Amino acid sequence: MARLSGLLVLALMLAVVSSFTTFSLGAQGGTAAYTVGAVVVLAVLVPAAAPALRRTPSWALWALVVLVLTALVTAFVLGVPDGYRAAFGAGSDRADALDVVLTRLSEGLYPYAASTYVGNPISPLPGSFVLAAPFWWATGDASWQNVLWLVLLLGLVNGGPRLRPVPTVLWALVVVGGLEVLREFVVGDDLVWSAVPAALAVAWLLRCAHGPTPRLVVAALLVGLTTCTRPHLVLVLVAAAVAVGVLAGLRRALLVGGLAAAVWAVLIAPFLTGGLARFSPVHVAAKVTGDRAITPGIVVVAVVALAVVVGAAWWLRASSAVAVGWLGAAVLFAPSVLSFAHALVAGAWGELDLTLGSAGVPFALWAVAAREVATAPDGPPARPSVAPPRAGPPHGDHARGAAIPAAPP
C-alpha cells in the first residue's frame, strides 16, 4: 500500500489549495472540517480498505470511472449552480486567457497585449497555447482540454491503461473530493490540469531513459512543450533531466535538458520581440515578491530554487516515479508556501493565494499511486481454468501424464 505519510501529505496539500473554497463554503469551520475529512479519508480509510479494494472486480472499477467522468463532464457543461458561485466562481479568467490569446493569434495580433474579462494580464506561457489550440479550434473553448487531462490522469496513476483498484479509487477521491481540483475542472481553470500533461511527459521520459535515442529525444521535446505552460514548471524540467542523469548518465541528462530548454526558447522567443515589459507572464512574480516585473528578488528566488532542485534530486538520486513525482509535487506546491511567506512578512494578506500550489496535486497523486503500482499485488489471484492435477501416483499405465512403457523387443 502507498505509504501512510504520502497519503497524509496528499490530504494536507488538498486542504491547503482548497482552503479558499472551503472557507467560502463554511468559514474557518468549513476549512477545519474539510482538512479533517481529507486526512481521515485518504490517510485512514483508504489504507484500511486497501486489502478489500484490491479484490474489486474490474467491472466495478470501470463503472466507477464512467460514473465519475459522466458526473464531472455534466457539471462542466452545466456550470456552477447559482448558490455556489461565491465559493466556486462563475468562470475562470485563466481559461479565458487561453481563449483570448488563441483568438488574437488567429487574427494575427500580439496575444500578450490583451487582458482577461476581469482585467488581469495573460499569464500562461506559449506551451499552453499549443496544448489548448486543438480544443479551442474544435469547440471555441480551450477549457475542454481538461476532459482529456482528466482521462489521462487516470492512466498516469494506474501506470497504463489497465485499471488497478487502489489507484483508481485514489483518482476518483482526488478529482471529486479535492475541492480545488473539482472547482478548476467545473469552471475550466488550468493550474491543476496543466500539470497533468507535464507529469505524463516526465513519466514517459523516465521509461525512455535507457531506450533508443530517438525515443528519448521525442520524450525530451514533449517535456519541454508540456512544462512551458507556467514559469515554475521549469523546475520540473530540471528535475526530470537530473533523473535521466541518475538513470542513464550525464550525456543523456544533458541531451534531455538541452532539448527541453530549446523548446522553451523556440516557443517564447517570438513573443519577446515587443520587449520584456510586454511579456505579461512575468507579472506572476508579484505573487512572491509583490513586484510585477523581473527584479533582483525574483532572480535570487529562481536561482536558489534551481540549485535546490538540482542538489536535492542528485543527492536523493531521485529517478523512480515515486521520487520524481514527490520532487515535482514539492516544487510546484512551493508557490503556495512563498505566497504565504510574502503575505506574512509584508502583511499583504489580500494578495495571499494558496491555490498557486495546486499544480503539485497531480504529481503528488502520481507519486502515491506509483508506490502502490510498484509494490501491491495486481488483484485477487485468478481462478485456474482447469482443475489442478491430483496428488499421488497416476492410476494405471495409461493415466494422463504417465509414461507408456516401450514395447518389448
Higher pLDDT, 107 or 94: 107
Distances (CA, A) of 49 to 126, 299, 389: 43, 47, 35
Per-residue pLDDT at 220: 97
Mean pLDDT of 69-76: 95
| Higher-confidence position of 255 and 311 | 255
Q: What is the pLDDT of residue 386?
A: 40
- Residue 72 burial (CB count, 10 A): 18
The residue with greater pLDDT, 335 or 364, is: 364
pLDDT tops 60 at residue 379: no
Report the range of poorest mean pLDDT among 128-132, 219-223, 351-355. 351-355
Q: What confidence score (pLDDT) does residue 352 get?
A: 78
Per-residue pLDDT, averaged over 332-359, amounts to: 82
Q: How many structural domains compose the chain?
A: 1
Alpha carbons 154 and 193: distance in angstroms, whole number: 12
pLDDT (0 to 100) of residue 376: 64
pLDDT band, residue 349 (cuts 50/70/90): confident
Q: What per-residue confidence (pLDDT) applies to 393?
A: 46
- Average pLDDT (200-211) is 95
Q: Give me the pLDDT at residue 80, please.
A: 76
Q: What is the pLDDT of residue 298?
A: 59
Q: What is the mean pLDDT of residues 164-191?
A: 93
Instruction: Choose the weakest-confidence range: 63-77, 100-114, 236-250.
Output: 100-114
pLDDT digits (tens, 9 = 90+) for 112-142: 888 888 777 888 899 999 999 999 999 999 9
pLDDT for residue 126: 92
Q: Is the pLDDT of residue 176 over 90?
A: yes
- Single-letter amino acid, residue 239: A
Range(s) of the domain holding residue 240: 4-375
Do the domain assignments include residue 127?
yes
Residue 89 pLDDT greater than 70, yes or no: no
pLDDT at 296 over 50: yes
The pLDDT tens digits for 242-293 are 999 999 999 999 999 999 999 999 999 988 876 666 776 766 555 555 555 5
In this structure, is residue 399 part of a structural domain? Answer: no
**Dihedral sign computed on CA atoms, order 391, 392, 397, 403:** positive
392 falls within a domain: no
Q: What is the pLDDT of residues 12-66, one digit of tens each?
A: 999 999 988 888 776 667 888 999 999 999 999 999 999 999 999 999 999 999 9
Grid cell 474489486 in the structure block, residue:
56
Q: What is the pLDDT of residue 383?
A: 42
Q: Is there a domain that residue 175 lies in?
A: yes
Residue 400 in any domain: the answer is no
Angle between helix 46-53 and 4-17 (nearest 10) = 120
Amino acid identity at 212: P
Specify if 398 maps to a domain: no
For the ranges 120-134, 238-252, 312-326, 393-407, which has the lowest average pLDDT? Answer: 393-407
Say which range, 189-203, 245-259, 338-352, 363-377, has the weakest mean pLDDT. 338-352
**Helices 165-177 and 46-53 sit at what angle, rounded to 10 degrees?**
140
Predicted TM-score (pTM) of the model is 0.85
CA distance linking residue 226 with residue 268, whole number of Å: 13
pLDDT of residue 403 exceeding 60: no
Of all residues in the chain, what percent carry a pLDDT higher than 70?
A: 81
- Assign 377 a pLDDT band (cuts: 50, 70, 90): low
| Predicted pLDDT of residue 388 | 45
Is the CB of residue 304 less than 8 Å from the CB of residue 310? Answer: no
Section 87-114 average pLDDT: 81
- What confidence category does residue 203 fall into, taking pLDDT thresholds of 50, 70 and 90? very high
Please, what sign has the CA dihedral across residues 268, 269, 270, 274? positive
Instruction: Please return the burial class of 377, using the count of CB atoms within 10 Å of its CB with bins 0-12, 13-18 and 19+.
Output: exposed
Average pLDDT, whole number, for the chain?
Answer: 83
Cα separation, 116 vs 92, in Å, equals: 9
383 part of a folded domain: no
pLDDT of res. 83: 64
Confidence class for position 198, pLDDT limits 50, 70, 90: very high
Under 8 Å between Cβ of 108 and 87: no
Instruction: Point out the least confidently predicted range of 36-45, 275-284, 367-376, 384-393.
Output: 384-393
Q: Write the DSSP assignment of 232-297 as a string of letters.
A: GGHHHHHHHHHHHHHHH-HHHHHHHHHHHHHHHHHHHGGGGTT-GGG-GGGGGGHHHHS-SS--HH
Q: Quick check: is 390 in a domain?
A: no
The pLDDT of residue 123: 84
